[in-house]
Copies of this chain bind each other. A is one copy, B any other.
Amino acid sequence: MAQLWQGLTAEEWDTPQVVVHRGRLQDNIASMAAFARQHGVQVRPHVKTHKTWEIFAMQQAAGAVGLTCAKLGEAEVFLQRGVKSVLVAYPLVGTRKLERLFELMTRFPAAEVQTIVDSPERAAELAQAAAAQGVELPVWVKVDSGLRRVGVSPGAPAAELVREVRKLSGLRLLGLLTHAGHAYGAASYEQVAEIGAAEAGCLLETAELLAAEGVTGLGISVGSTPTVKVSGAVPGVTEIRPGNYVFYDATQVRLGVATPEQCALRVLTRVVARPEAGRIVIDAGAKTLALDKGAHGSDAVAGHGLIVGHEGAVIERLSEEHGVVRIAEDSPIRVGDVLEIIPNHSCPVANLTDELTAIGEDGSLETWNVIARGKMR
């Protein structure tokens, strides 16, 4: 605990509070950048994890070529700060979304705004709208590598969509993109690694089909945080888009992707009651920790977070503002103590707080606003 607040006592903290350990954060960013350099791939981190300018600036300084986000409202706040390349990796459907996309392209002419297409119908719709605006929209063909969410199947169907997109004026094809989010449901790191190999493999096989027709030079974009060290190392991959790696969390620990020490985001919470020897109540509930027990619907983590230094304690249930924790009846934990929790999923935790408290290795404190928090549209 000490290293998280040199010079500060528990009494001085108001709780709950979402803190980021700067040294760990910098290490995580640097090691992903080193991995990318080693394998000659570009990093386009997904900013949904932190939604914070200070952290993206660190990723940019480490070589990120741009960013990935899910919402136009997220793209806007980063474009306003001068980011030059933004991928909105989400199907943009409906008149208002297309109007807003073109508004952004007009407001930020020096920036490139990329998006995805996942079907011939959406490709035709986007192409028509872009042509009507007299713009050319850079798009990735979104491939479903097994998450079974959005995307076209790899191989022949993906190749066919590429041919369609190449025919359409208004669209500029960037390449093939996938997100192997199903890795979050894996039972072991071996399974994660298999999924990572297949994630890159299915895009590269599709690219080979097209190369045989003379369609070459396609970008190949992969990389969820669990799989990226495998899929990002496959020759032929050009870009990786990990997000969670800046913070990691108890889900990544469960998957064998990170150690608890690497987890840079922690929730500081106070013990507000000990109604029984074996039960304490903390002031971090679902409104702070979120209810995630994994990601993408995976439900594999036990409890609602890891309490650092109290591995036997189990966060059994969360109300919005209370966490109910089972502890040993002889535990020294006392009402008023501050505990440090590694959450199950750091992304929603960052989305639930207006600010992050960044703690330097010297104990210095900085407040970072979560500028893209809650941009639901």
A contacts, CB < 8 Å to B: 10-17, 48, 70-71, 90-91, 93-97, 100, 118-119, 121-122, 144, 148-152, 181, 270-273, 275, 279, 281, 283, 286-288, 290-292, 295-297, 316-322, 324, 335-336, 347-348, 351-354, 374, 376-377
Contact = CB atoms under 8 A, between A and B. Distances in A.
Question: Most chain-B CB neighbours within 10 Å: which of A16, A150, A270?
Answer: A150
B320 A347 contact: yes
Contacts of A17: 376-377
Contacts of A151: 275
A150 B376 contact: no
Question: Most chain-B CB neighbours within 10 Å: which of A90, A292, A297, A335?
Answer: A297
A48 B151 CA distance: 38
Contacts of A271: 93
B296 A335 contact: no
Contact of A316 (B11, B297, B318, B377): B297
B288 A290 contact: no
Given A70-B321, A93-B335, A122-B335, 12 more contacts: A14-B377, A119-B335, A148-B324, A149-B319, A149-B322, A150-B273, A287-B348, A287-B376, A290-B291, A296-B317, A297-B318, A374-B374
Contacts of A354: 374
A287 B351 contact: yes
Nearest to A351: B287
A16 B376 contact: yes
B275 A48 contact: no
B150 A15 contact: no
